[in-house]
Amino acid sequence: MKMILKTAITIILSCGALILFAQGKPPRWLPEKGYWVIESSLREPQNAIVHFYNDENIKVYKEEVNGYGRKLNRRKYKMQLKEMLDKAVTAWASQQPLQENEGFFIALLQNK
């Protein structure tokens, strides 16, 4: 009887610890304000259009990204998307929105 009780307690504690560790932190590339949507086609997978939105679902910036389409799902590029989103949302909030396709994101990609 004691052996079954010890085994049950061990299993319960192990499952509890597993649940606590499984939750973890959100990824660093996840933005605090706003989000982006990557639009691409099957015919031209290397070309994409990235739309940046603020928390109110208002589009704050849009840029065509040629040559980086499939790469945009990598962590390195997601960090740069986050940086560009922060710039676009900040510019929108200060009543000076960025013009579409100004090449800010491409410049950011090429500088890093």
Q: Amino acid letter at 56?
A: E
18 close to 10: Cβ distance less than 8 angstroms: no
Residue 8 is assigned to a structural domain of this protein: no
22 lies in a domain?
A: no
In a domain, 75, yes or no: yes
pLDDT tens, N- to C-terminus, the chain (112 residues): 667 766 656 666 565 555 656 567 778 888 888 999 999 888 988 889 999 999 999 899 898 888 887 888 888 889 989 998 998 888 888 887 777 766 766 666 666 6
Domain that residue 53 falls in: 35-111
Question: Is residue 11 in some structural domain?
Answer: no
Number of domains present in the structure of the chain: 1
Measured CA to CA in angstroms, residue 51 lies from 5, 59, 62 at distances of 56, 7, 5
Q: Is residue 17 part of a domain?
A: no
Asked, for residue 46, whether it belongs to a domain, the answer is yes
Distance separating alpha carbons of residues 85 and 80, to the nearest angstrom: 8
